[in-house]
Amino acid sequence: MSVILAITFIFCIIFGRFFYIQIVWGKDLVWRATDQWNREIPVIAERGAISDRNGQVLASNRTTYSVFVRPNAVENAEYASTILAGALGLDAPEVLEKLTAKKVSEITLARQVEKSDIEKLASYGVAGVYYARDNTRVYTYGEALCQVLGFTSSDGSGVSGIEKYYEDILSGTNGEIMYTTDIVGVETEDCKIVYREAVGGDEVRLTIDIDIQLAAEDAIRAAYAATSAKKVSCIVIDPDDFGVLAMANYPSYDLNDVPRDDAQTLNALTRNAIVSDIYEPGSTFKIITAAADIEEYLRGNKNAFSTSYIFNSSRTRSVGGTTIKCWSDHANGKHSAQTLAQALNNSCNPCFTDIALALGTETFYDYLTAFGLGNVTGIDFSGEALGMLVPQSLVRDCDLARIGFGQTVAVTALQLACAATAAVNGGKYYSPHLIKSVVSSDGKVVEEYESVLKQQVISEKASRILAEMLEGVVTEGSGKKAYIEGYKVGGKTGTAQKYEDGHIASGKYVSSFVGFFPADDPQYLALVIVDEPQGSYYGSTVAAPVAREIFEDIIKIKNIQPYGD
């Protein structure tokens, strides 16, 4: 009986093994066997284009070729290496070493080779050499939008920016050319060739308006030259849905000539500061503080200040052992007694200290959170920074007082632009985005982005009141250099000292201006940041004129008529 059981057991093992090999492992074994007798040359899929919101192509492809070699099929390695090196501009000894390497069935010798070079190489008829189409990325506008678009590697995959973020959409699916060979990789006499077509990637259509983008780039390039700044950045947002119309940083680089050999320079120039870098915003942050105060007053909070309230005329406030001063000496009655609107016009720090302290940590932090501070916005772009916000449990009165006018808090330009947009667009905070839609190769829209309303941060009434006040900043306050005759422009200036190693960096400032128009129905909002301008460093004199220049260009581009026409 035991013998029968043993035989049965052994039979079951053998049967199970056969079943595993035939059924479970069968397909893989067939593929391995087929692979030994077939060789494949990849056919690179055409990478999807990147375009702006109007379909203007920003990134496309130029057809080039990859060169492959089957060492076992090469008849004369020395001759082949000489021909290949000469045609492709390679080092002959290195090519020879690759051709004579053992246990290598195929090598990729070169990518992105021009058609003329392939024709020259093909004329020699070197055995064992094969060619397949690949793509060389071409960027229509060179430097424009370089930190946003990003670039691709030599094998055509996205390395940074939109190219990397939407790699799955842009890359498509590669095809192949398969043909039969003998065991050492030489084509057989009755070679059968099978072609599997590549499927091209889809087009990614952005929210960017290339005309506005170019206008923004021209403006910040001029500002960089005029101020000898370390860096100048600008973002333009559509207040209706937080679609990014322009995003620019200068210095920049040419996407068609990426400095790949200098890693340090490449990292610095490709970094999208608007999304990835944080800074202390200074007085542009007062927009958020004012919005919180107006909304709380409308809600009946007795600690909030009314729009007619006259703030203490003293130019200083003593909070937690620290003294907060206004930039003005308040001499001769200069903005000594003022309403909230006048405090915005004059950018008087003590008034916003009063607001933050009056609202209290819990209420004020509720608004900071609602306006997206201390968290990512969720934009479709890699490397977004969180910003820096003192944890609510650790906030002291002196911290809260300084946060009220834009110190002791750090934001990304994107965070501040989104917060300011929500403050003046009726109180709606949307998810900012760079993608508008995905379009197939035959021109059909595969996917349309739908704006996502995250929350209503303040009421429409509070937003209208604030927007009107900020229009006053431009018509009669610190933002006068952003004024455009015949157009309702609102905004707020900012000038912040920079910190290095926890201490104020002498003579180093960040000058900024956030502006929008038309003030009574915002269609465009721009934030301009000038990092370490030399000479004049006030946001009112350095950044506001840049925003005005961008707005004037938008008015021309979109043929926007003056107010009242």
pLDDT at 70: 84
Neighbours of 315 (CB within 10 A): 19
Q: How confident is the model at residue 257 (pLDDT cuts 50, 70, 90)?
A: very high
Q: How many residues does the chain have?
A: 565
pLDDT at 402: 96
CATH 3.40.710.10 assigned to 210-255+264-557: yes
The percentage of the chain sitting over the pLDDT mark of 90, rounded to a whole number, equals: 68
Burial of 366 (0-12, 13-18, 19+ CB in 10 A): middle
Q: Quick check: 60 and 214 in contact, CB under 8 A?
A: no
531 strand-pairing partners:
231, 510
- Tell me how far apart the alpha carbons of residues 185 and 455 are, in angstroms, rounded to a whole number: 63
Going by C-beta distance under 8 Å and a sequence separation of 6 or more, which residues neighbour residue 263? none
* pLDDT above 70: residue 48: yes
In which element (H, E) is residue 162 found? helix 161-165
- Closest by Cα among 199, 168, 204 to 60: 204
pLDDT at 24: 55
Return the domain boundaries, the chain.
39-177+199-206, 210-255+264-557
Q: What are the tens digits of pLDDT across the range 495-521?
A: 998 877 777 788 899 999 999 999 999
Start-to-end CA distance of the chain, whole Å, equals 106
Q: What are the tens digits of pLDDT across the range 392-441?
A: 999 999 999 999 999 999 999 999 999 999 999 999 999 999 999 999 98
Least confident of 5-19, 308-322, 364-378, 446-460: 5-19
Q: How confident is the model at residue 2 (pLDDT cuts 50, 70, 90)?
A: low
Q: Which segments of 373-502 are extended strands (E)?
A: 388-389, 409-412, 428-430, 435-439, 445-448, 453-456, 490-500
* pLDDT above 50: residue 31: no
Average pLDDT over residues 230-255: 97
Average pLDDT over residues 314-336: 84
DSSP designation for 152: B
Average pLDDT over residues 31-43: 58
Going by C-beta distance under 8 Å and a sequence separation of 6 or more, which residues neighbour residue 447? 437, 438
pLDDT at 450: 92
> pTM (2 decimals)?
0.88
- Closest by Cα among 46, 219, 210, 45 to 140: 210
Q: What are the tens digits of pLDDT across the range 137-158?
A: 999 999 999 999 999 998 889 9
CA distance to 180, 202, 526, 546, per residue, from 219 (Å): 60, 33, 12, 6
CATH superfamily of the 39-177+199-206 domain: Penicillin-binding protein 2a (Domain 2) (3.90.1310.10)
- Tell me how far apart the alpha carbons of residues 412 and 232 are, in angstroms, rounded to a whole number: 14
- Tell me how far apart the alpha carbons of residues 412 and 431 are, in angstroms, rounded to a whole number: 15
- Tell me how far apart the alpha carbons of residues 256 and 240 are, in angstroms, rounded to a whole number: 34
Handedness of CA 125, 129, 132, 134 (dihedral sign): negative
3-state secondary structure of 451: coil
Side-chain half-sphere exposure of 493, counting CA atoms within 13 A: 31
* pLDDT above 80: residue 186: no
Residues acting as catalytic residues: 283
Neighbours of 281 (CB within 10 A): 32
3-state secondary structure of 125: coil
Q: What are the tens digits of pLDDT across the range 69-119?
A: 888 888 888 999 999 999 898 999 998 888 888 777 788 899 889 988 988
Q: What are the tens digits of pLDDT across the range 157-180?
A: 999 999 999 999 999 888 877 666
Side-chain half-sphere exposure of 444, counting CA atoms within 13 A: 2
Q: Quick check: 279 and 263 in contact, CB under 8 A?
A: no
Most confident range, picked from 61-70, 179-188, 500-509, 525-534: 525-534
Average pLDDT over residues 333-362: 93
CA distance to 160, 163, 215, 267, per residue, from 167 (Å): 10, 6, 28, 20
